[in-house]
Structures are given as C-alpha cells and as structure tokens.
Amino acid sequence: MSQLTDAFATGKAFIPFIVAGDPDAASTVANAVALAEAGADIIELGIPFSDPVADGPVIQAGDLRAFNGGITVDTVFAIVAAIREKVQTPLVFLTYANVPFKYGYDRFCAQCQALGVAGLVIPDLPYEAQGEIRPFTRKYGLDLITLITLNSQDRLPALAKAAEGFIYVVSTEGITGARDNFDQRLATLFAQIRQYTTVPAALGFGIHTPEQAQTLARFADGIIVGSAIVALAATHGTQAAPVIGAYAKEMIAAIR
C-alpha cells in the first residue's frame, strides 16, 4: 500500500538525506540521481529553513549554502520534477512546519502528490499537532512520518500506532551530527516499537561510518544518514555526486 513501507520489503533500507539547493538545483538533482543509482531505497530531501532548530551545524550550513544559491519552495518542487525525470526512487521531504503551513497545507500536499513525493517528515509538528495537516496528507496519499526518540517513553504506544510509511527513530539526544557512542537502549526501543506496529522503523541522527551502520542495522529496519552526506556536499560542492554515490554504495554494502 505505502510506497515507503514497500521500500523496506527487500531488506534493510538505506535512506540518505540531502539539502535541496545545496549548493544549487542542478547539483541536488545530480546528487539525488547518484544516490538512487547507488541503490538508496528512499531519498530524504530537506527543504531549507531559516531557523532549523532540530538540525546541527553541518545541516544548518547546507541550508545556508542553499539560501545563498537562491533556493525557494517552488525551486525545491522544480528539483523534484527534474529528479523524477531520471529516477523513480521514493522521495520524502524533510521540512519545518512553517513551510507547508505558509504555502497552504492543501496546496503543498497537492504539489507533493503531483510530483510523486511519498511522505513528509516535519520535525516540529509533533503527534498532538499533526491533526492540522493529516486531512491533507490523507487527501493526497502522503505518509506523515512519525518520529520516536529515547525520550518518548509513555508516548511511544500512541506514536507507534499512528505511524505510516516508516518510523523515524532518533538515535540520540539533541541535534543531528556525528556521535561516536550509540545508546544500548536503542535495541530495547526498537523491540518496544514492534509491540505496537508492523510499520518499519529506521534509525537516524549521528550515523556516519559503515561500521556503525552495520551494527545498528542488526535491530533497525533502515538507516538514515544526513550530516555525513551533507558534509560531503560541503567539501565537494558542485562536484559531489560521484563522491556521494560511492559513499552510499559503501554504506549499503555494510547493511545488507
């Protein structure tokens, strides 16, 4: 039923994240195509936001490069259209709530459907506030991705039961960025989630090496990698596609 859930059917999923427009539209298209060709199961495309409070300095810097390149929400949609001409890998947007709110939830979700975006990750629209956009994600067949963290505790059953597409498990306290130690409590967290839902659960925030990905994929259904890829985009600029593609292949080999 869900294109996103289906992406987990063939094994552990690899879900890379890139910032739309970092550093320009053409590079984003090239990076997404490289990730798709490397075998990414879902690509998460970040819509830059002026004040990305849930992101660390690496992704904040990516947002800034995109703004310097003149990114707008309509350009992000144009990027998606260009990606869709070349590859059909499922896409999700990561966006702060104010972007679809200001665009108009109905109009935003309609655009997503028209361009084949399968779901939305909205870090500052928590479970209790999702009711305001859910009528529109339903209307246009988008999955609204649930985030669960080690802090969720009592909230976990309700969150897991509401999940659709996949669950985004936040691996550590705080913001995105590389971390060297992963909490052993994560394995328990995944077991708890599975008591309430069959929706696959992917782990993100702070994963950067193939070794980490391999270890974590033992209990996670998928691995989400953001900062490590945005850091490659920062270093290689408009020439990042082959480097990002090679990195994705290495990560995919590690989790399969």
Partner 1 sequence: MTITNETTPGRYLDYGGQYLPELLMPEIQRVAAAYAHYKDDPAFRREFHTLLEEYAGRPSLLYYAKNMTADLGGAQIYLKREDLNHTGAHKINNVIGQALLAKRMGKTRLIAETGAGQHGVATATIAALFGMACEIFMGRLDTERQRLNVYRMELLGAKVHAVTTGSMVLKDAVNAALQDYAARSHDTFYVMGSAVGPHPFPVMVHDFQSVISTESKAQLQTVAGQLPDYVIACVGGGSNAIGSFAAYLEDPTVHLIGCEAAGKGVTTSQTAATMALGSTGIFHGMKSRFLQNADGQIDAVYSISAGLDYPGIGPEHAALMDSGRAQYVPITDDEAVAAFEYIAKQEGIIAAIESCHAVAAVQKLAPTLPKSQIIICTLSGRGDKDVAAIAKYRGIQLSED
Residue written as token pair 């995105």: 176
Exactly one of 114, 129, 158, 191 binds partner 1 (CB under 8 A); which one?
129
Answer yes or no: are the C-beta atoms of 27 and 238 closer than 8 Å: yes
Cα 148 to the center of its chain, rounded Å: 14
Exactly one of 2, 60, 89, 212 binds partner 1 (CB under 8 A); which one?
60
For the segment 89-118, give every residue that binds partner 1 (CB under 8 A).
96-99, 101-103
Phi then psi for residue 182, to 5 deg, are -105, 140
Q: For the chain, what's the residue count?
A: 256
Q: ω into residue 100 within 30 of 0, thus cis?
A: no
Helix H, strand E, coil C: the string for 106-129 is HHHHHHHHHHCEEEEECCCCCHHH
Among 22, 24, 41, 55, the active-site one is 55
Catalytic annotation present for 6: no
57 binds partner 1 (CB under 8 A): yes
CB of 101 to partner 1, least distance (A): 5
Q: How far is CA 206 from CA 8, 26, 113, 148, 169, in A?
A: 21, 27, 30, 15, 12
238 binds partner 1 (CB under 8 A): no
Cβ proximity to partner 1: between 117 and 251 the closer is: 117
Cβ proximity to partner 1: between 73 and 243 the closer is: 73
Catalytic annotation present for 55: yes
Taking CB under 8 A as the rule, which mask of x and - marks residues 175-194 in contact with partner 1? Answer: x-------------------
Tokens (6 digits) for 47: 């819509």
Residues designated as active site: 44, 55
Please give the residue ranges that form the binding site for partner 1 (CB under 8 A). Answer: 49-51, 53-54, 57, 60, 67, 72-73, 96-99, 101-103, 123-129, 147-149, 151-155, 159, 170, 173-175
